[in-house]
Amino acid sequence: MAEIMAYGGYLPAHRIRRSRIGEALGTRPATGSRTVASYDEDTTTMGAEAARVALHGLPGPEEVRGLYFATADPVYLDRSNAAAVHAVLSLDPSVPAVDMCGAVRSGVGALRAGLHAGPPTLVVLSDIRAGLPGGADERDGGDGAAALVVGTDGEVVAEWIGDAARTEEFLSRWRAPGEQYSRHWEDRFVEEVHVPAGRLVLEEALKSAGLTAADVDHLVVTGASRRIAAAVRAAAGVEEHAAADDLLDSVGETGTAHLALRLAAILDRAGPGEVIALVVLTEGADALLFRTTDLLAHRRSAWPTAVQIEHSSDELSYATYVTWRGFLPREPMRRPLPPQLAAPAARRIGAWKLGLVGSRCAACDARHLPPQRVCGACRALDQMRPDPVAGVPATVSIATVDRLAWSPNPPLIYGTVDFDGGGRLQCELTDTVPDSARTGLRVRMAVRRTHSRDGVHNYYWKARPERGEQY
Amino acid sequence: MADRGITDRVAVVGAGCTRFGERRDAGADDLLIAAANEAAAAAGIDLADVDAFWLGTFGSGHAGTALSKPLKLDNKPVTRVENFCATGSDAFRNACYAVAAGAYDVVMAIGVEKVMDSGQAGIPFFEFFDDGTVVPHTPPGTFGYLATGYAQRHGVADADLRAAMTHVAWKNHRNGALNPRAYFQREIPKEVIDRQPLLAGKLSLLDCGGLADGAAAVVITRTEDARRYTGKPVLVKALALAAGPGTGTMDPGHDFSSFPEAVAAARSAYAQAGIRDPRAELSFAEVHDCFTITEIVLMEDLGFSARGTAWKDMVGGVFDRDGALPINPDGGLKAFGHPLGASGIRMIFESWLQLRGEAGERQIDNGRTLALTQNIGGDPGECVCLITILGT
């Protein structure tokens, strides 16, 4: 049987209080907050961040032999988004990276495919939920990603013990390619399909594992409103205290990613031998059962999602939120767009550009970012060895808040950051405000979308303030 | 390793410079025609008498034809030179070497830039393709590193640095007010400069040199021939160019309080010209005040002030037009304006006027006969620096 070897979640540094939506639009204010992907984040960058967290739980990324990437909001059609995640992680080229995109059900589908794959497989689920202003997706949705390494190897944090599925062709939510938002059928009709389907798959999965509803320690129901989730739990006879935190108060429903984000949140604190039931309601229903192991206590995520929420801000304004999601076009700057991307040049430096692999001089040990052929310290030629720095903490040495420079989110903040263990990089600073961008700020590197031009989204690394990560 | 220089072997025998500014009335061709003819007239020659040309332009033209076509030159050698903001001075440097080598008798170095047609803020010329790893920084942003780096290294309080930067802007606008060719010809009170909103880092709009349209040209001959063209030739004492390894943005040891390229170029230039104490020996200097903080840092890199003291010297008036060592008596990039490819030659034009006693109201009269011009091209941590020393 396949198992979960490692896991990780990623939540953006920005949240908006739902009361602000109500204040801006004059609608009934809702409680809590939702996460918001920054202007420079998308499902690819968030997925890559979650995968980086998950890989910290493995002895080495070389163990991963496959990558599945799922989202209902793919950055590209007709080309792989998984390949960019693969590049950020510097996985071996022999590792296949495959997209499963379009439907929310792709998320649980990718997980199921990974569990069946055999060799350790990285399953990355990521989503941005942006509905029209004033709608339910805007209010109740959330942005985030989660990643699981699954396989049949020995050292695992949870075992896969049960499984059931049901497919129902019916209309609950839909979005044609190119459209900016999804539409919905009324919730009461959806409830009539989802509640019995969810109850059925949960019962069948429990039966396949030789368990009963009373054995469930944590029940996760995603893809549905709180009311439908409660109805599925009650119909299946699972105790109320087993209803796991649905993350709706602080994160929102993160679509494709939500089942894995909630699983990650449970794994962050569950004890050994506990049974976790996942029910995903889409065009039908899926139920997956897991049981935690003794090893979990020693292999928890080094950056729990609860810590990420703690190190985030819910001060985002509604005007900024709708600007970031593209619902409020703004006057462009009187500056030229960054240049067109040259595909061969970008490919030539791929290990640096997406993997942040610098070079270190074998003769004098000086680190070079970006990688150089001639050593800046001792002038040795071609004595460099690869030196990955994506996971290395750094400190801002000089920062500038530039109100003249082009940026999709002015002002552009950039400077030089000095890495622990040597090396300096000039780069953008993100997830920060002008007053915080100062010498001495401790930062981590994050891959972001710097700009888009001619339908090409450019990815590169920026420095962001530390957010409580324990690595 | 040799760095012999060509001290006193060539001379400037004519110079011209257009009015700088928002020259919506003139294209690059018009500016080139004006500067070339003014310089030729000053030397008492026709353009047809010029054997070869060096054209400096950062982005307003590409090949020699950018000059030969508007001037209708008949198959003369024309080289286009580009070296960031040292473009004009490098055109001058190469032209001087050709004369010193004996290849030509009379040559012209000419620089031009036409930047005001773009309708955009900042320098309009860009690369067309890249690999997507370039931070879209601007000169105010990266030169802003200097203000932070200088203050951090020397423990200068924000208010003290602000006062020094304000003094640079105030001084250069005060000098520019006496210059009929300058972009900005009025004084700006210190209290106005002090209260500008920040544009990048600690820099406000009034800390920035003004990008401008304009052109400048000089005629160069061997020194022994110079008096055929003018009674008061200006001799080339030193030409020094340093292109740095660009490691400032890669090396945690670099603190953005200095231009190592300027220190290296100054060492070479002073050796060529036999200068031991530049602050005492130079009559004045035209330096690359692209930003107010740049001028302060350069005072130390060029040996005019001890490390950590230029901000005090600046506020103390040392570099005012009536100070111990006048800096940018023509208003500098700040007030004269900065047409990138023309700026280096504009500095030589001012030196031509000052050393010949033709600078009118802004004439410096301190009895010294040496002038220094200096350009930075690029960004702090990754730049070129070109220095010339001229004298009579």
At B295-337, the pLDDT tens digits run: 999 999 999 999 999 999 999 999 999 999 999 999 999 999 9
Tens-place pLDDT, residues A310-356 = 999 999 999 999 999 999 999 988 888 888 899 999 999 989 999 99
Nearest alpha-carbon partner for A441 in A460, A406, A414: A414
Is A20 in CB contact (< 8 Å) with chain B?
no
**Does residue B189 have a cis bond before it (omega within 30 degrees)?**
no
Residue B145 to residue A415, Cβ atoms within 8 A: yes
Residue A439 to residue B251, Cβ atoms within 8 A: no
- Residue in B120, B142, B149 nearest the CB of A335: B120
Taking all residues of chain A, what is their mean pLDDT, rounded to a whole number?
96
Is A421 in CB contact (< 8 Å) with chain B?
no
d(CA A43, CA A46) in angstroms, rounded, equals 5
Share of chain B above pLDDT 70, in %: 99
Q: Which of B288, B338, B383, B385 is catalytic?
A: B338
Tens-place pLDDT, residues A108-153 = 999 999 999 989 999 999 999 999 999 999 999 999 999 999 998 7
Residue B128 to residue A341, Cβ atoms within 8 A: no
State the pLDDT at residue B165: 98
Residue A404 to residue B199, Cβ atoms within 8 A: yes
d(CA A431, CA A13) in angstroms, rounded, equals 7
- Residue at B123: amino acid letter: I
The β-bridge relationship of strands B10-17 and B234-243 is: antiparallel
**Sign of the CA dihedral running B15, B21, B25, B28:** positive
Q: How far is A355 from chain B (nearest CA, A)?
A: 12
Is A290 in CB contact (< 8 Å) with chain B?
no
> Is B376 within 8 Å of B290 (Cβ atoms)?
yes
Instruction: List chain B residues with CB under 8 Å of A401.
Output: 198, 200-201
- Residue in B132, B144, B247 nearest the CB of A458: B132
Share of chain B above pLDDT 90, in %: 96
Residue A305 has pLDDT above 80, yes or no: yes
State the pLDDT at residue A201: 98
Instruction: List chain A residues with CB under 8 Å of B124.
Output: 336
To test the contact with chain A by mutation, choose from B128, B135, B383 the residue with the greatest count of A C-beta atoms within 10 A, namely B135
Element (H, E) at A394: strand A394-402
Q: What is the mean pLDDT of residues B46-62?
A: 97
Residue B132 to residue A348, Cβ atoms within 8 A: no
Q: Which of B85, B96, B208, B290 is catalytic?
A: B85
d(CA A150, CA A1) in angstroms, rounded, equals 11
Q: How far is A416 from chain B (nearest CA, A)?
A: 7
To test the contact with chain A by mutation, choose from B117, B120, B126, B133 the residue with the greatest count of A C-beta atoms within 10 A, namely B133
Terminal Cα distance for chain A, rounded: 31
State the pLDDT at residue A373: 97
State the pLDDT at residue A59: 85
d(CA A74, CA B267) in angstroms, rounded, equals 58
B125 or B375: which carries more pLDDT confidence?
B375
Q: Tell me, what's the ipTM? A: 0.94
**Does residue B140 have a cis bond before it (omega within 30 degrees)?**
no
- Residue in B130, B199, B250 nearest the CB of A376: B250
State the pLDDT at residue B121: 79
CA–CA distances in Å: residue A116 to residues A51, A102, A159, A207, A262? 19, 21, 13, 20, 21
State the pLDDT at residue A50: 98
Q: How far is B310 from chain A (nearest CA, A)?
A: 21
Residue B1 has pLDDT above 80, yes or no: no
A168-196: buried (b, 16+ CB within 10 Å) or exposed (e) per residue? eeeebbeeeeeeeebeeeeeeebbebbbb
> Is A195 within 8 Å of A235 (Cβ atoms)?
yes
State the pLDDT at residue B2: 86
Tens-place pLDDT, residues A259-296 = 999 999 999 999 999 999 999 999 999 999 999 999 99
Nearest alpha-carbon partner for A6 in A63, A87, A46, A69: A63
Farthest CA pair distance, chain B: 59
Nearest alpha-carbon partner for A161 in A287, A68, A280, A64: A287
Question: What are the beta bridge partners of residue B375?
Answer: B386
B154 is catalytic: no
**Look-up of token digits 């959330």:** A142
Is A371 in CB contact (< 8 Å) with chain B?
no
- The predicted model scores a pTM of 0.95
Residue A225 has pLDDT above 90, yes or no: no
**Look-up of token digits 């107010």:** B292
To test the contact with chain B by mutation, choose from A403, A407, A429, A458 the residue with the greatest count of B C-beta atoms within 10 A, namely A403
Q: Is B223 helix (H, G, I), strand (E, B) or coil?
A: helix
Number of H helices, E strands in chain A: 12, 22
Q: Is B204 helix (H, G, I), strand (E, B) or coil?
A: strand
The token pair that represents A168 in the structure block: 């129902």
Instruction: List chain A residues with CB under 8 Å of B251.
Output: 376-377, 424
Residue B16 has pLDDT above 80, yes or no: yes
Q: Where are the alpha helices (DSSP H) in chain B?
A: 28-43, 65-71, 87-100, 139-154, 158-176, 190-194, 260-273, 278-281, 292-301, 310-315, 332-335, 340-355
The token pair that represents A68 in the structure block: 């599945």
Q: Do you know the residue count of chain B?
A: 392
The token pair that represents A146 in the structure block: 């989660």
Give the phi and the psi of residue B189 in degrees, each rounded to 5.
-60, 145
State the pLDDT at residue B127: 65
Is A377 in CB contact (< 8 Å) with chain B?
yes
Nearest alpha-carbon partner for B278 in A66, B206, B287: B287
Residue B125 has pLDDT above 80, yes or no: no
Residue B376 has pLDDT above 90, yes or no: yes
Among A62-66, A360-364, B334-338, where is mean pLDDT lowest? A62-66
Residue A226 has pLDDT above 90, yes or no: no
Among A391-400, B33-42, B111-120, B188-197, where is mean pLDDT lowest? B111-120
State the pLDDT at residue A152: 87
d(CA A63, CA A49) in angstroms, rounded, equals 18
Give the count of beta carbons closer than 10 Å to the beta carbon of residue A210.
9
d(CA B189, CA B185) in angstroms, rounded, equals 13
The token pair that represents B235 in the structure block: 């001799």
Q: What is the mean pLDDT of residues B276-293?
A: 98
The token pair that represents B180 in the structure block: 């009929």
A42-68: buried (b, 16+ CB within 10 Å) or exposed (e) per residue? bbbbbbbbbbbbbbbbbeebebbbbbb
d(CA B62, CA B73) in angstroms, rounded, equals 16
> Is A265 within 8 Å of A9 (Cβ atoms)?
yes
Residue ranges of chain B whose CB lies within 8 Å of a chain A CB: 119-122, 124, 126-138, 140-142, 144-145, 148-149, 152, 198-201, 245, 247, 249-252, 254, 256, 381
B128 — pLDDT class (breaks 50, 70, 90)? low
- Chain B's closest residue to A396, CA to CA, is B252
Establish, for the pair of chains A and B, how many residue pairs have beta carbons separated by less than 8 Å: 129
Tens-place pLDDT, residues B271-281 = 999 999 999 99
B338 is catalytic: yes
CA–CA distances in Å: residue A301 to residues A61, A312, A463, B294? 15, 18, 22, 48
Is A402 in CB contact (< 8 Å) with chain B?
yes
Radius of gyration of chain A (CA): 22
Nearest alpha-carbon partner for A251 in A330, A139, A112: A139
Burial class (CB in 10 A: 0-12, 13-18, 19+), B263: middle
Residue B141 to residue A400, Cβ atoms within 8 A: yes
Instruction: List chain B residues with CB under 8 Å of A402.
Output: 137-138, 140-141, 144, 199-201
Tens-place pLDDT, residues A33-58 = 999 999 999 999 999 999 999 999 99
- Residue in A339, A349, A376 nearest the CB of B251: A376
Tens-place pLDDT, residues A199-220 = 999 999 999 999 999 999 999 9
> Is A274 within 8 Å of A291 (Cβ atoms)?
yes
- Residue in B127, B133, B249 nearest the CB of A416: B249
Question: What are the beta bridge partners of residue B208?
Answer: B291
d(CA A67, CA A77) in angstroms, rounded, equals 18
Residue A69 has pLDDT above 80, yes or no: yes
Instruction: List chain A residues with CB under 8 Å of B145.
Output: 398, 400, 415-416
Question: In degrees to the nearest 10, what's the CA dihedral of B85, B89, B92, B96?
Answer: -130
Residue A339 to residue B129, Cβ atoms within 8 A: yes
Residue A450 to residue B131, Cβ atoms within 8 A: no
Give the phi and the psi of residue B116 in degrees, each rounded to 5.
-85, 5
Nearest alpha-carbon partner for B301 in B329, B254, B351, B261: B261
Residue B200 to residue A426, Cβ atoms within 8 A: no
